[in-house]
């Protein structure tokens, strides 16, 4: 059975010895997508996405200033500083750290989106995407139905909530850094608002012309 370690398992007095910092949210930039709440290892963030009552609250007593929320925010609405860090990197000796644990990656479930590498405060995770390319969204065609957000397995699409009761939601925002170019969103979009292009494919060296043609056919 896989062992799961979270920050909330560590006693508060231990956290006080390890972390200190500052954190704030720019309400004008926040789209209340909930990505920060979902990824926060300390369960310190609560996002209220109820129409007309959008808000985000950060419990600073729980926050460990790991900067995961700051790195994951698609609109750079979160400003955070870890005083135990040096220019954004942890200035702690891992061998002397009070918090111990281990991580296990299930290769059968991993989609290689890169979120782990992108938000890890100690650069302990590395990944290689299966495809490289681009994703574009036509704002004029996007009808804010949410089909693309629901089907995306990489959490690469953030959908702002409406600005008030009865108002229309804005178009979806794509984070190209974490998109694996699977094209599921483009196929799910009923209005053809999403275009995904593949320019490179990660594969072992091959000499077969047939295989090269097959791989080229997958590209756009």
We report the CATH number of the domain holding residue 55 as: 3.30.70.20
Residue 191 lies in a domain: yes
In a domain, 197, yes or no: yes
Domain end, chosen from 76, 98, 120, is at 98
* Higher-scoring residue by pLDDT: 201, 51: 201
Q: Which band of pLDDT confidence, cut at 50, 70 and 90, is reported for residue 107?
A: confident
Q: pLDDT tens for residues 58-106?
A: 998 888 888 888 888 888 899 888 776 544 444 445 555 555 567 788 8
Predicted pLDDT of residue 125: 83
Of 98, 122, 146, the one marking the end of a domain is 98
Q: Is the pLDDT of residue 176 over 90?
A: no
pLDDT of residue 101: 65
Residue keyed to tokens 């860090």: 85
Please state, in angstroms and rounded to a whole number, the distance separating the CA atoms of residues 92 and 205.
40
Do the beta carbons of residue 146 and residue 159 sit within 8 Å?
Answer: yes
In a domain, 38, yes or no: yes
Q: What's residue 181's pLDDT?
A: 92
Determine the average pLDDT of the residues in 203-207: 75
Q: What is the CATH number of the domain that holds 173?
A: 3.30.70.3270
Mean pLDDT of 100-127: 80
Same domain membership, residue 83 and residue 41: yes
Alpha helices in 100-198 (DSSP H): 115-119, 147-151, 184-188
Residue 106 belongs to a domain: no
81 and 144 belong to one structural domain: no
Both 139 and 196 in a single domain? yes
Residue 110 resides in a domain:
no
Is there a domain that residue 114 lies in?
Answer: no
pLDDT of residue 4 exceeding 60: no
Residue 185 lies inside a defined structural domain of this protein: yes
User: Which whole number is the average pLDDT over 193-214?
Assistant: 81
pLDDT of residue 15: 54
> Do 137 and 213 fall into the same domain?
yes
The verdict on residue 105 lying in a domain is no
Residue 181 sits in which domain range?
A: 131-218
User: Do residue 32 and residue 80 come from a single domain?
Assistant: yes
Q: Could you say which of 45, 78, 98 is where a domain stops?
A: 98
C-alpha closest to that of 218 among 188, 192, 197: 197
- Contact assessment for residue 70 and residue 80, using Cβ atoms and an 8 Å cutoff: yes
**For the chain, what is the domain count?**
2
Residue 159 confidence (pLDDT) = 72
Asked if 7 and 65 count as a contact pair (C-beta separation under 8 A), the reply is: no
Residue 130 CA: distances (Å) to CA of 113, 185, 210, 214, 219: 9, 17, 20, 15, 12
Neighbours of 166 (CB within 10 A): 7
Residues 156, 93, single domain; the answer is no
């Amino acid at each position: 059975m896989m062992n799961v370690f979270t920050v909330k398992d560590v006693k508060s007095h231990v956290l006080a010895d390890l972390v200190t910092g500052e954190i704030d949210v720019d309400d004008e930039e926040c789209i209340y997508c909930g990505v920060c709440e979902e990824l926060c290892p300390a369960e310190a963030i609560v996002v209220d996405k109820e129409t007309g009552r959008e808000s985000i609250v950060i419990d600073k007593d729980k926050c460990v200033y790991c900067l995961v929320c700051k790195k994951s925010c698609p609109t750079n609405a979160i400003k955070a500083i870890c005083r135990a860090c040096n220019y954004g990197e942890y200035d702690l000796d891992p061998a002397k750290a009070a918090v111990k644990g281990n991580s296990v990656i299930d290769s059968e479930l991993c989609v290689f989106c890169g979120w782990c590498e992108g938000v890890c405060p100690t650069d302990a995770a590395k990944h290689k995407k299966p495809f490289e390319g681009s994703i574009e969204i036509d704002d004029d065609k996007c009808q804010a139905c949410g089909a693309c957000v629901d089907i995306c397995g990489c959490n690469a699409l953030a959908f702002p909530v409406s600005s008030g009761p009865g108002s229309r939601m804005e178009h979806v925002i794509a984070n190209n850094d974490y998109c694996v170019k699977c094209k599921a969103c483009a196929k799910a979009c009923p209005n053809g608002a999403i275009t995904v292009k593949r320019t490179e494919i990660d594969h072992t060296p091959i000499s077969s012309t047939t295989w090269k043609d097959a791989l080229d056919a997958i590209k756009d």
